Amino acid sequence: MTLLEIHRLSLDLEVDGELRRIIHDVTLELDDGEAVGLVGESGAGKSMTSRAVIRLLPRGARLGGEVEFDGRSVPAMDARALRAYRSRDVAMIFQDARSHINPVRTIGAFLTEALVERGERKADAVTVVSELLETVGIHDVPHRLRQYPHELSGGMLQRVMIAAALAIRPRLLLADEPTTALDVTTQAEVMAHLDRQRRGRGLAMLFVTHDLELAAAVCDRIAVIYAGCLVEECPASTVHDRVLHPYTAGLLASRPSATRRAARLAAIPGRPQAAYEIAPGCPFVARCPYVVDLCRTTRPPLRLIGASRVACHRAEELAGQLSVGRFSGEERARA
Amino acid sequence: MALVRVVLERLAELVLTLLVASVAIYGALYLAPGNPATLLAGGHITPSVLREIERQLHLNEPFFVRYWDWLDGILHGNLGKSFVYRESVTSLLASRVLNSVYLVSYSAVVIIVGGVALGLAAALRRRLGVAITAGTSVGLATPSFVAAIMLITLFAVNLKWFPAYGTGSGFAGQLRHLTLPAVALALSWLAYTAQLTKAAVREELGKDQVETAQSRGIRPRHVVTRHVLRNALIPITTVSGITVAGLVAGDVVVEQAFGINGLGSFLVQATLQKDFASMQAVALILVAAFVVVNGIVDVAGLFLDPRLREPAV
Ligand SMILES: Nc1ncnc2c1ncn2[C@@H]1O[C@H](COP(=O)(O)OP(=O)(O)O)[C@@H](O)[C@H]1O
Ligand SMILES: [Mg+2]
């Protein structure tokens, strides 16, 4: 069943008094219990897309298109409905837990606030969050609840943030680079908790990351976004064997990996572009090694190819060559 | 308990500061020109009489002996004897100190309540913010004696709403009499507090914790009280402390302008008459008030900001 439907989303933000395009065109669906990884380089508009889902946007933002949660239009909600939606249906996990948790209030106050705010009894809320803290591996709970954020490590704070998100029993988690700010060993640990809890509870998740491999590991499907445009969407299971967009292939190739040592072969040339910088043609045209004239003049629409959707004029034609993992692996083997 | 330990540390610092200040105050007047004995005898006296007076007043003892006697007296409620009034300083001050305490407290309330309310309104309501910022900029540039003259002209002489002079009797009478002086004393500090509150609230409004609260569907009212004002209270309290301490100094001017018989005007008289004991006592009280207010603010800061509670090592 479709839980979240993002249809032709566009977003403009005010920058120095002028509207600037941040998201061109993103169409995406999430089923109940499904995890979708939203992947792309920094500045692509991943955070803004996830924020559009909860309508947490900067002042003066202009939203186009539609975001429907369980059949209800999010942009059309009034203040009251929006608060109810935020306090029951969807929970956001931010990247930087240290700045996103109020430094002068206790961990307990942070964890129980949303529950108490929506009318639950304080004592019940404490019971709920205490159990949750244990499940994400935080012990000595009564003591922790009385502590302040500065007394906890970064990894612990992020687990507190995860517990807070789970506490409201949402149907959808929005996780915006939840482990990027942590050191590598902590990243794995925190990610494991998030993944286990999400699966155990059957929650849907929109997982924002710049790390395609990580997204493929914890999500069911992957959506790749470049300069505010959705360029490819595919099952996570096919990412290593068959990607259809040159940008996705580039992302895959630019990440060093323990299992695929030929990693840096095909790093993407040029710098990432912002949505407002791109010309009318394909957004990736300036950095794509496979450009033809058509790419410069016409923006490719999303087309269904197999189980994937891709916005590339030459998708069918390039299909075999793009599967970086296998290709470079074979190269190595022969050499 | 870390908090208790840190509070005790701060209290110890406070006592030490007061001790150092008392040495400085006593020392400054000890070194000042003019011999109290000559002053007391009133002009022509023989050296033997002078020595006798000096002996009675312990003026020939070493500095630290005299300082210790003075401090010991103060700790027992004896502030010394005024040679000018020939009366104990304690009883001279008794009738005056309350007038000053009322004035400064009234002013402090006006500043904190008014300044925080205006600053908060300015930060949360854009339109209003512009007007308040303009108004407080004028207020900020108005010295208390100018404010006093304007307030007397407008509210005492023209409108006759409030008396211009004296301290009045009974609670209502005192409140009425002290209103204009308190406002005059408060004005520029109120403007300062309002501008600082506005800046602090604006800063907190832009912080991530506010975004988190909004993303969780917390009511705007609670977002403001728990995640904006609660955090902004830390800088606001610090500045309120500086402000109230500053009032102690401004008090001297305003008491003169409105003819209030308090510590400030008494200090001016004592200085003009070279009344050393009175000067020392008033200076010590003013410094003590200053230090105690700062101490209270320090401790309040510990309660407001858990990050400060780690004991210094
Ligand atoms: N408050 C803002 N005002 C204007 N532009 C913004 C704001 N926040 C982000 N942007 C711009 O929007 C674009 C997309 O940002 P974001 O969604 O945060 O990217 P990502 O999460 O993919 O790194 C970037 O070009 C960024 O500069
Ligand atoms: Mg981001």
What mean pLDDT do residues A60-82 have? 95
Query: Which of A20-24, A242-246, A271-275, B238-242 shows the highest mean pLDDT?
Result: A20-24
Among residues A179, A273, A168, A187, the alpha carbon closest in space to that of A231 is found at: A273
Which of these CATH numbers, 3.40.50.720, 1.10.3720.10, 1.10.357.10, 3.10.180.10, describes B90-309? Answer: 1.10.3720.10
Interchain CB contact of B311 with A (< 8 Å): no
Which whole number is the average pLDDT over A204-212? 95
Task: Tell whether B9 lies on the interface with A, counting CB pairs under 8 A.
Answer: no
The position carrying tokens 């407080």 is B136
With 90 as the cut, is the pLDDT of residue A279 above it? no
Tell me how far the alpha carbon of residue B186 lies from the centroid of ligand 2, in angstroms. Answer: 47
Instruction: Give pLDDT, residue B137.
Output: 87
Q: Which of A261-270, A319-328, B291-300 reaches the highest mean pLDDT?
A: B291-300
Residue A234 vs residue A329, higher pLDDT: A234
- In chain A, which among 18-77 make CB contacts under 8 A with chain B? 54, 56
d(CA A267, ligand 1 centre) in Å: 23
Report the distance separating Cα B293 and Cα A241, nearest Å.
Answer: 71
pLDDT grade, residue A266 (50/70/90)?
low
Cβ-Cβ contacts under 8 Å for B140 (sequence gap 6 or more): B188, B191, B192, B195
Task: Report the complex ipTM.
Answer: 0.89
pLDDT tier for residue A326 given thresholds of 50, 70 and 90: very low
The pLDDT value given to residue B44: 66
Nearest ligand, CA A40 = 1
Enter the tokens of residue A302. Answer: 């999303």
- For residue B280, the model assigns a pLDDT of 85
Distance A52 CA to ligand 1 centre (A): 12
Binned average pLDDT, 10 residues per bin, chain B of 313 residues: 79 88 82 62 68 70 83 84 82 86 91 93 89 87 81 80 75 81 88 94 96 96 96 92 81 84 88 84 86 86 87 54
Cβ proximity of B238 and B225 under 8 Å: no
Which ligand 1 atom minimizes the distance to the CA of A208? 21
pTM across the whole model: 0.85
Q: Is A48 a pocket residue for ligand 1 (Cβ < 6 Å)?
A: yes
Please tell me which of A113-127, A278-292, B33-47, B116-130 the model is most confident about, judged by mean pLDDT: A113-127
**CA-based torsion, B84, B88, B94, B95: positive or negative:** negative
Q: Tens digit of pLDDT for each residue in A152-205?
A: 999 999 999 999 999 999 999 999 999 998 988 899 999 999 999 999 999 999
CATH 1.10.3720.10 location in chain B? 90-309
Structural domains of chain A ordered from first start: 2-223 (3.40.50.300), 242-334 (no CATH)
Nearest Cα residue to atom 12 of ligand 1:
A22
Find all residues with CB under 8 Å of A274, minimum gap 6, and list them: A22, A43, A227, A228
Q: Which pLDDT score is estimated for B286?
A: 85
Report yes or no: B214 at the A interface, CB cutoff 8 Å.
yes
Provide, as residue numbers in chain A, all residues whose Cβ is less than 8 Å from the Cβ of B231.
Answer: 102-104
Range from A38-47, A79-88, A212-221, B257-266 carrying the lowest mean pLDDT = B257-266
Q: A335: pLDDT confidence band, cut at 50, 70 and 90?
A: very low
Confidence category of residue A264, pLDDT binned at 50, 70, 90: very low
Mean pLDDT computed over A204-222: 95
